[in-house]
Each structure stands twice: as structure tokens, then as C-alpha cells.
């Protein structure tokens, strides 16, 4: 977290996610008797190294929490592989999975909702150790140690969650997740519900814990300023797919995917896009439906770069739902293209919008109505 950027090959992956998919069968039915299927996560791949924070951003419904829950096997993947230290978790038996599950823990946005209000703090922090069979012996000392690490004290152990402030409750949630000495922590919007000053305290706490233990963090958040602050690398999700992933500074200073640029332009982020985001890139419409993914590139219904490319000519175009678009955007789902070591974007025009300034200028003028 906030560490100097690492080179991509410096450390072997702690966690490796490959071609992960999750299709939920929702309650509804389609004509013809087919169940409504929600493509929540659609072919997602990434790695996470020890001591590294990967930020995961994207609009609501893009599939971020489902990725986190899949990594913990709280939901079963439809397809794909999740490797921890090279061991494929998806191939493990329930008993073997129990052994490894303690190495991957989760911190939630709403610590109050995830803490049983009838249990005292001591019991809440001890519970994962009891469940995973690591309580006997040094359990009591571990509770005291971990409570101290998160900035609480032993006098707090005998109290109930409602007696604490939001920030303190999040400390309890972190202590609970830390009790089993996990190697990977999935943090799902861990500071979104907290005041800004408290956010900073929790972020500093997480950074200290990571530096001490070498945990890898998958940090899910809406707030791009927070993600910039905490992440070594950033992955941007759109409708179940990672559309861009790369070192934090590359993503913020030279975004290659038009969706990333539009996200960055929507909020004031220090140093965003090399200060080139002077116009706000307004996206048309809402994020599409995960029950019916668009054909071709899933971003095409909202993509201003596609419209710019079609207007500028030089590529075969088609008339599509009242718009002229490059044929390739409507027909083919783009593969991820590596633009620089570790920096990938899934777009048919991989020169992108940030990598070449004149394209960025034209795209932003175009998107903002110029």
C-alpha cells in the first residue's frame, strides 16, 4: 500500500486468478422457459503478490464483490482457476479447502452488519480460530495480540459492537480477519462507510499490518482517490470483465481504455491522467445489464472512442442502433493487449486515449460535446 511501485516480475504470485467466471441463475424466467442468467464475473484474470495491494474499481454492479467472494470460495465459480501459492483451490475437496480457507480472509464495508451484535469483541475475534481449529493452545494470546495490533485494548474485549464507533468497529472486523494470520485479505469497500479522517486512520492501520505481515490485499472500492492512495496496481472492471489493469501510476496518468478515462474524469483525483483530464468525459446511459451482455465489445453502447473512430474514418463502420460505430467494436469482444510491461487494456484501439495525447484530446473534446 502506497509503496514504491514494484517491477512486475520481482515476486512470484501469491494468488493467481485465471479465466474466472460466475453466472448466477436469478429468480426470473425468460420467454421460452429459460432462467434469467446474470453474468456477474465474465473471464477475469489477475495475479496478486505478497505485500502488494491490487485496487479493484468499477461502477456498481460491475462484479467487484463477486470476484472477492469467489476468491474466498463464498460462492462457487462457474469456471476458472484460483491458485494460492500455485495450489488450485477450485480442485480441493471441502476438507482440504477448510485448511486453506484461513489463508484468505475478508473485511466488509459494514462491520456492524458483519459482526453478531450479541457477541462480545473477545468472542468475535476468537470465533474464526474456534471454527478453524486453531484456538487451543495460544488462542487467548492471539486475541490479545491482534486486538492490540489494530489499536484496541484488552478492556474492549468484554464489550459489544454497538458500544463502539464506526472506525472502532472496522478495527474489530480487521482483528477478526487477522486472527488466522491470512496471507490474502479481500477488503470490500473497507472505508466507504467511514468519515474521511477515520478513513485515513484505517488505511494507515492496514498499511502497517501489511508491511509487518506481507499480506496481499485485494482492495475493492468506488473511491478512486482512495484506490490511488493505497494501490500498487489497479484493475478496472466493466460488466464482469477487467477492461484495464496495470501499475497504479500508468492507470492514473495514462489510462488506455476509454472507460478508465471516463471514470477518472468524473472525480477530482490528484495527478489523474497527467492532468490532461480537463473535460469531464460524460458516459451515455447506465452500465449495461449483466443478464444480457452486449455483443462485441461490452462497452460499445457507451463508448465515445468508438464513435470518434467511426467519425474520423479509416476503419470499416456499421450503422448500429442509431449510431455509426467501427464494425470491429460491434462484432468482436476485444482481447487484452499488453501496452507496456504489466499494463493491459481490452480495446480494439489499444493506442487508447491516454497513451497518445492527441487521441486523448480529441476523444475528450468529442465526448464532452466538442
Q: Which residues bind Mg ion (CB under 5 A)?
A: 65
Cα 41 from chain centroid? 12
The reply on whether position 240 binds ligand SF4 by CB under 6 A is no
| Side-chain-facing half-sphere of 104: CA atoms under 13 Å | 23
Closest of 256, 216, 253, 244 to residue 232, by C-alpha: 216
> Which residue, 164 or 366, is less far from ligand SF4 as judged by CB?
366
- Answer for which of 129, 287, 297, 364 binds ligand SF4 (CB under 6 A) is 297
Shortest Å distance, C-beta 58 to ligand SF4: 14
- Answer for which of 1, 16, 52, 65 binds ligand ATP (CB under 6 A) is 65
Instruction: Assign residue 7 a region (left: φ > 0; alpha: ψ between -120 and 50; beta: otherwise).
Output: beta
| Residue 346 to residue 349: CA distance in whole angstroms | 9
| Residue 228 to residue 346: CA distance in whole angstroms | 21
Residue 263's binding partner among ligand SF4, ligand ATP, Mg ion, none (Cβ under 5 to 8 angstroms by kind) is none
**CB-based contact 49:3 (threshold 8 Å):** no
| Residue 91 to residue 84: CA distance in whole angstroms | 12
| Side-chain-facing half-sphere of 274: CA atoms under 13 Å | 13
Residue 299's binding partner among Mg ion, ligand ATP, ligand SF4, none (Cβ under 5 to 8 angstroms by kind) is ligand SF4
> Which residue, 17 or 305, is less far from ligand SF4 as judged by CB?
305
- Answer for which of 15, 53, 62, 156 binds ligand ATP (CB under 6 A) is 62
> Which residue, 107 or 297, is less far from ligand SF4 as judged by CB?
297
Shortest Å distance, C-beta 60 to Mg ion: 7
- Counting every residue written for the chain, the total comes to 370
The reply on whether position 58 binds ligand SF4 by CB under 6 A is no
Residues forming a β-bridge with 219: 55, 187
The reply on whether position 288 binds ligand ATP by CB under 6 A is no
* Sole residue written with cell 448500429: 320
Q: In this chain, which stretch among 55-63, 170-178, 330-338, 340-348 interacts with ligand ATP, using CB under 6 A?
A: 55-63
The Cα diameter of the chain in Å comes to: 71
Residues 254-283 binding ligand SF4 (CB under 6 A) are 258
User: Interface residues with ligand SF4 (CB under 6 A)?
Assistant: 258, 297, 299-300, 303, 305-306, 329, 334, 347-349
User: Interface residues with ligand ATP (CB under 6 A)?
Assistant: 24, 26, 38, 40, 58, 60-66, 290
Amino acid at each position: 500500500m502506497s509503496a514504491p511501485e514494484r517491477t512486475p516480475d520481482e515476486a512470484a504470485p501469491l494468488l493467481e486468478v485465471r479465466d474466472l467466471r460466475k453466472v448466477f441463475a436469478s429468480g426470473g424466467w425468460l420467454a421460452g422457459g429459460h432462467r434469467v442468467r446474470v453474468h456477474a464475473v465474465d473471464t477475469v484474470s489477475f495475479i496478486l503478490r505478497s505485500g502488494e495491494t491490487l485496487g479493484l474499481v468499477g461502477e456498481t454492479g460491475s462484479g467487484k464483490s463477486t470476484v472477492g467472494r469467489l476468491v474466498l470460495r463464498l460462492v462457487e465459480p462457474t469456471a476458472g482457476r484460483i491458485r494460492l501459492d500455485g495450489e488450485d483451490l477450485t480442485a480441493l475437496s471441502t476438507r482440504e479447502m477448510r485448511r486453506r480457507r484461513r489463508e484468505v480472509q475478508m473485511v466488509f464495508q459494514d462491520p456492524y452488519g458483519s459482526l453478531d451484535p450479541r457477541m462480545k469483541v473477545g468472542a468475535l475475534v476468537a470465533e474464526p480460530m474456534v471454527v478453524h481449529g486453531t484456538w487451543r493452545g495460544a488462542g487467548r494470546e492471539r486475541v490479545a495480540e491482534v486486538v492490540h495490533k489494530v489499536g484496541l485494548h484488552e478492556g474492549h474485549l468484554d464489550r459489544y459492537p454497538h458500544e463502539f464507533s464506526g472506525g472502532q468497529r472496522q478495527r474489530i472486523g480487521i482483528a477478526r480477519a487477522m486472527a488466522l494470520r491470512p496471507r490474502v485479505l479481500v477488503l470490500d469497500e473497507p472505508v466507504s462507510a467511514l468519515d474521511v479522517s477515520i478513513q485515513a486512520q484505517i488505511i494507515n492501520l492496514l498499511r502497517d499490518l501489511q508491511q509487518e505481515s506481507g499480506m496481499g490485499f485485494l482492495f475493492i472500492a468506488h473511491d478512486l482517490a482512495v484506490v490511488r492512495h493505497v494501490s500498487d496496481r489497479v484493475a478496472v472492471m466493466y460488466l464482469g470483465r477487467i477492461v484495464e489493469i496495470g501499475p497504479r501510476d500508468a492507470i492514473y496518468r495514462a489510462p488506455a481504455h476509454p472507460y478508465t478515462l471516463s471514470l477518472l474524469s468524473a472525480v477530482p483525483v490528484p495527478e489523474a491522467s497527467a492532468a490532461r483530464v480537463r473535460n469531464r468525459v460524460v458516459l451515455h446511459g447506465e452500465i449495461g445489464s449483466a443478464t444480457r451482455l452486449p455483443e462485441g465489445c461490452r462497452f460499445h453502447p457507451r463508448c465515445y472512442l468508438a464513435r470518434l473512430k467511426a467519425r474520423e474514418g479509416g476503419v470499416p463502420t456499421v450503422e448500429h442502433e442509431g449510431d455509426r460505430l467501427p464494425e470491429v467494436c460491434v462484432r468482436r469482444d476485444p482481447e487484452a493487449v499488453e501496452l507496456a510491461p504489466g499494463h493491459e487494456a481490452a480495446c480494439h484501439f489499444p493506442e487508447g486515449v491516454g497513451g497518445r495525447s492527441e487521441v486523448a484530446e480529441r476523444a475528450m473534446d468529442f465526448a464532452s460535446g466538442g
